Homo-oligomer: A and B are copies of this chain.
């Protein structure tokens, strides 16, 4: 492996050389070099993450073109940053200076939808909502629904193992990826997994790639599992006089064997922000609002049972939605939370700490203490049923001191999550934002073995360098 002793990036490579080599296997319109254009591919949606400017942006349409890009990158030792819609929240798609930004957005075909086998075969650039709607027409359901589902791509979802509101019943993206075609760092094409419901032939490299943030290879095709479309869900809203009481309700619901299709918590700060932005008319006096939904054959009965548990936990008001329209309105309020919190001070840092759900109350209490200590507004919305919280630090990015406090409070919340037996990221990924924290979560042996896996797939370190580790 003398190759791995070569320098990461050949100093002698000029952008001109790189572009010429790329153009030998890509059409002109797929290779962008205008600095204003390349600069626009520098970032995803995370705060506080450094980003360089790509030397070139490539927009392949075929697997062969992606293979060509990776062969050129390997030959010239140029880093490659795979990108989807760049809606990520951890800097995982941020460009490195002088890299090839490899945007998969033009590979956006749905290749197959099969209702008997309950699978879809897609290219990575398909937008989540596009796929969701397409499979709905066949009576099928693709559950993962990150907040950005109207924009984000399946390739990006696979890169970060994205979650969403429905995970508490249906799990995250990882649960729906059966097989992948991946272009490796050196341009070879590898197929993993299968199109069958089950299969245990060899190591599960499919799952290794899911959540690997473009650092092991470039996903160019995915075989996805689908579910039958469930009945429309009905939502209940419950108000509580304290976040602790709402968390107690969550524990009672889950220990009681209920399987909600959604179980979300919004704290007072979040409710107020949503009302301010969207005039949604949510109850302003609440300390915590819990939304529970069921997509079962008799959702009203399930909501009644869960409503009773909320009351037993001290809910001050329990309001089941009467119909789908009312339910949708409540969900819109929840989906608007992060945007609304961003409006509070102009900028947010969105944490993604996931704790065992029995520790949810302790985490939220702890976040309150952190907000007080740093004199900041931190709104908490949470996929409460999963213990996955998004404490959202609101700050004025033009104020250096407030920015520093924001960053420190953000870190302190991750430390608290780890203390409570949780993880630094439930669904947003590590990227740049949390890479110093990843080693803390994994420990030295885990980190070393993760690096060994990285080295096995990308010995030159050209795939999304500077992320994760």
Contacts and interface: CB of A to CB of B under 8 A. Distances in A.
Contacts of A208: 203-205, 207-208, 453
Given A198-B386, A208-B207, A259-B228, A190 B445 contact: yes
Interface in A154-186: 160-161, 163, 167-168, 172, 174-175, 184
A33 B428 CA distance: 52
Interface stretch (A95-103, A109-117, A282-290): A109-117
Contact of A441 (B139, B168, B201, B441): B201
Query: Which residue of A114, A198, A257, A457 has the most chain B CB atoms within 10 A of its CB atom?
Result: A198
B355 A196 contact: yes
Interface in A46-102: none
Interface string A414-430: 00000001111111111
A167 B197 contact: yes
Q: What's the interface size class on A, roughly?
A: 35 or more
A398 to B, nearest CB: 32
B255 A198 contact: no
A304 interface: no
Contacts of A320: none
A229 B204 contact: no
Given A196-B423, A198-B386, A228 B357 contact: no
A312 interface: no
A50 to B, nearest CB: 21
B356 A254 contact: no
A387 B198 CA distance: 8
Contacts of A453: 203, 205, 208, 453, 456
Interface in A349-393: 354-358, 383, 385-388
Interface string A299-335: 0000000000000000000000000000000000000
B387 A200 contact: no
A221 interface: no
Contacts of A429: 200
A37 interface: no
Nearest to A355: B196
Interface in A119-146: 119, 139
B425 A199 contact: yes
Given A229-B257, A446-B192, A387 B197 contact: yes
B254 A118 contact: yes
A265 to B, nearest CB: 14
A201 B163 contact: no
A357 to B, nearest CB: 6
Interface in A270-284: none
A60 to B, nearest CB: 19
Contacts of A427: 198, 200
A424 B200 CA distance: 8
Contacts of A212: 203
Contact of A357 (B117, B425, B442, B452): B117
Nearest to A446: B190
Pick the 5 closest A-B CB pairs, nearest first. Answer: A228-B257, A207-B207, A199-B423, A197-B386, A452-B456
